[in-house]
Amino acid sequence: MAEVSTHGIPVQVCHALPDGSFLRALTVPVGTTIEQAVAHSGLLQEIPGIDLAVNMVGIYGKKKPLDTVLREHDRVEVYRPLQADPKEARRRRAGGKPAKG
């Protein structure tokens, strides 16, 4: 069985931007949530347009709620809002007409 750290666990917080990225390695207390790690990372101060009520978050590409408790070496990802509906974009690329609703 792996030893549990009582001092903290290493995690990363990242956010992709059109012209770069934000990546911060942190050591957080055991029991820290995604929301707490994002706040502690400084991401919200460096990129003020991020709203955790709107932007989805996840760990390693899997969407998670803000109250998810982090585990050692998790990478928290804060996603940008979609610019277009993926189904509609696929239809446009394929040259199809939009379905009537």
C-alpha–C-alpha distance, residues 38 and 15, integer Å: 10
C-alpha–C-alpha distance, residues 16 and 42, integer Å: 15
Question: Which single residue is written with the structure tokens 């770069």?
Answer: 20
- Reported as a single tens digit per residue, the pLDDT across 38-78 is 999 999 999 988 999 999 999 999 999 999 999 999 999 99
Question: Looking at the predicted structure, is the pLDDT value of residue 99 above 60?
Answer: no
* Sequence-ordered strand ranges (E) for 1-101: 9-17, 20-28, 57-59, 62-64, 75-78
Look at strands 9-17 and 75-78 and give their pairing. parallel
Q: The whole model's pTM is what?
A: 0.75
Smallest Cα–Cα separation from 14: which of 5, 22, 6, 3? 22
